[in-house]
A and B are shown apart, each in its own frame.
Chain A
Amino acid sequence: MRQAQSIRYGPFAAVLALLLALPFFAPAYVVHVANFVFISALPVIGLGFLSGFTGRVSLAQGALFGVGAYVTALLTTKLGWSPLAAFIPSVLGSALVGTLLGGPAVRLIGLYFVMATVGIQQIVWIVLLNAVDLTGGPQGVRSIPAISIGKYVLDTPEAFYFLTLAMATASYVLAKRIIASRLGMRLRALSDDELAASAVAVEVTRAKLIALVMSSAWAGAGGFLYAHYVRFIHPDMFTLEPSILFLTMSMFGGYRSVEGMLFATAILESATEYLRPFGEYRMIAYGLLLLLGMMFFPKGLFSLLPKRAQGAAKKTGKGAEHV
Chain B
Amino acid sequence: MLMQIIVGGIASGCIYAIVGLGFTLVYRTLKMVNFAQGHVFMAGTFLGLTIANKFSLPAVPLLLVVMVVAFLIGVVLERLIFRKLYHNHDVFIVGSIGLGIALMNTVRLFFPEPIPFPKVFGERIVKFGDAQFQEAYLWVIGCTVILVALLHCFFAYTRNGRALRAVAADAEIAGTVGVNVPMAIAQTFGLSFAVAAVAGVLIGPLYFVSFDMGDMVGLKAFSAAVFGGINSIPGTIVGGIAIGLLENIAGTYISSAYKDLVAFVILLVMLVWRPNGLLGTSTPVKV
What per-residue 1/0 map shows which CB atoms of A291-323 lie under 8 Å from chain B?
111111011000000000000011011101001
Contact A119 B264 (CB under 8 A): yes
Q: Are B89 and A110 in contact (CB under 8 A)?
A: yes
* Segment touching B, from A18-26, A69-77, A78-86, A101-109: A101-109
Considering the chains assembled together, what is the distance between the CA atoms of A114 and B93 in angstroms? 9
State A268–B279 Cα separation when bound (angstroms). Answer: 41
* CB of A162 within 8 Å of the partner chain: no
**Of A115, A290, A313, which is within 8 A of B95 by CB?**
A290
CB distance from B190 to the nearest CB of A (A): 19
Nearest Cβ in chain B — how far from A213, in angstroms?
Answer: 18
Confirm or deny: A251 has a beta carbon within 8 angstroms of a beta carbon on chain B. yes
Shortest beta-carbon distance from B37 to chain A in Å: 12
Q: How far is the CB of A310 from chain B (nearest CB, A)?
A: 10
Q: In the docked arrangement, what's the CA distance between A292 and B91, Å?
A: 11
Please give me the residue from chain B that is nearest to A247 by CB atom. Answer: B94
A119: contacting residue among B31, B90, B97, B267, CB under 8 A? B267
Residue in chain A with minimal CB distance to B80: A295
Main secondary structure of the interface of B (DSSP, over half): helix
Q: Which of B5-13, B52-60, B121-129, B254-262 contacts A (4 or more CB under 8 A)?
A: B254-262
A181 within 8 A of B: no
Is the CB–CB distance between A290 and B94 below 8 Å? yes
Find out whether the CB atom of A130 lies under 8 angstroms from the CB atom of B94: no
Tell whether, in the assembled complex, residue A291 and residue B286 are in contact, meaning their CB atoms are under 8 Å apart: no
Please judge, given known A-B contacts A108-B286, A112-B271, A286-B101, whether A317 and B265 are in contact too, CB under 8 Å: no
**In whole angstroms, how far apart are the Cα atoms of A293 and B109 in the complex?**
23
Contacts of B109 in A (CB 8 A): 280-281, 284
Interface size on B, residues (CB 8 A): 48
Contact flags A107-132 to B (C-beta < 8 A → 1, else 0): 11111101110111011001100100
User: Are A57 and B287 closer than 8 Å at their CB atoms?
Assistant: no
Cα-based distance from A104 to B272 in the complex (angstroms):
6
A258, chain B: closest CB distance, angstroms: 18
- Output the nearest chain A residue to B255 by Cβ-Cβ distance: A130
Q: Which residues between 78 and 129 of chain B lie within 8 Å of chain A, taking CB atoms? A: 81, 84-85, 87-95, 97-106, 108-109
Report the minimum CB–CB distance from A192 to chain B (whole Å). 14
| B105 contacts across to A, CB distance below 8 A | 281, 283-284, 287
A288 within 8 A of B: yes
Q: How far does the alpha carbon of A214 sit from the alpha carbon of B122 in the complex, in Å?
A: 56
CA distance in complex: A119, B92 (Å): 18
A51 CB–B CB distance under 8 Å:
yes
A269 part of interface (Cβ distance < 8 Å): no
Contact flag A251-B267 (CB < 8 Å), given A127-B261, A287-B105, A296-B84: no
Establish whether residues A109 and B100, one from each chain, have CB atoms under 8 Å apart when the complex forms.
no
* A105–B272 CB distance below 8 A: yes
A316-B106 Cα distance, complex, nearest whole Å: 32
Chain B residues, Cβ within 8 Å of A101: 268
Q: Return A252 CB to nearest CB of chain B, in Å.
A: 9
* 12 A-B residue pairings within 8 Å (CB atoms): A108-B275, A108-B286, A115-B271, A127-B261, A283-B102, A284-B101, A284-B102, A288-B102, A290-B98, A294-B98, A316-B88, A318-B88
Interface residues of B (CB under 8 A from A): 31-33, 81, 84-85, 87-95, 97-106, 108-109, 215, 219, 222-223, 226, 230, 257-258, 260-261, 263-265, 267-268, 271-272, 275, 285-287
Across the A-B interface, the 4 shortest Cβ-Cβ residue pairs = A290-B98, A317-B88, A287-B102, A287-B101
